[in-house]
Amino acid sequence: MSIRPLFIASLGNPGPAYTNTLHSSGHVVLIRLRDWLMLPPFTKSRPHASGLLSSSPDFTLWQSPSLMNLSGKSVATAWRTFIGSLSSPEDKKAARLVVVHDELELPIGKIKVMDGTASARGHNGMKSVKATLPSGMNFTRIGIGIGRPVSRDSMDVAKYVLRKMTEKELAVMRDVAGQVSEVVREMARGVR
């Protein structure tokens, strides 16, 4: 059985100020996913928009180096580089982009696998990605639940998503990587 090449990109904000914030839960999950998939450490890759990269023949993990709301250009550049690195036309055709991001509309620790064309519903990072990728490009999104504050006021939401996770929330997010690992393994085998 052939394996579908997957490029798994996480969205989040760069730098220590945003490390382990709810908004950067995609990065937290991707770091733990690397352990689940037994991939090498992340290294900075200039050709992949200077994002952090960890790869094997079956999976390539990549952390966006851009601010969440401006991540589309980096994702598109890294995706093009990934496709260009594949040797066979079959692999280029079968390859799949998977974007891992925070999801306000899900409780903490839940995941939702969606078609990339699904509505971004106010997620500016996903709006940027969708606006920058080729029109009609088929990709997959994995939303990582971070819960939602009671208030819908934009300032309250911003404060909520930019706060550091508690130790308990961080442990939950790291455990979510096990669920994501199952999903991406199924995708690689063509089951999803």
Residues with a known catalytic role: 23
Distance (Å, whole) CA 71 – CA 60 = 18
Q: Could you please report the per-residue DSSP string of 79-102?
A: HHHHHHH--SHHHHHH-EEEEEEE
CA-wise closest residue to 55 among 151, 126, 47, 154: 47
- What letters, b where the CB count within 10 A reaches 16 and e where it falls short, cover 90-123? eeeebbbbbbbbbbbebebbbbebbebeeebeeb
Strands (E), the chain: 6-10, 43-45, 51-55, 59-63, 96-103, 111-115, 140-145
| Residue whose token pair is 């442990």 | 171
Give the integer Cα–Cα distance in Å for 81 and 83: 6
CA distance 82 to 96: 10
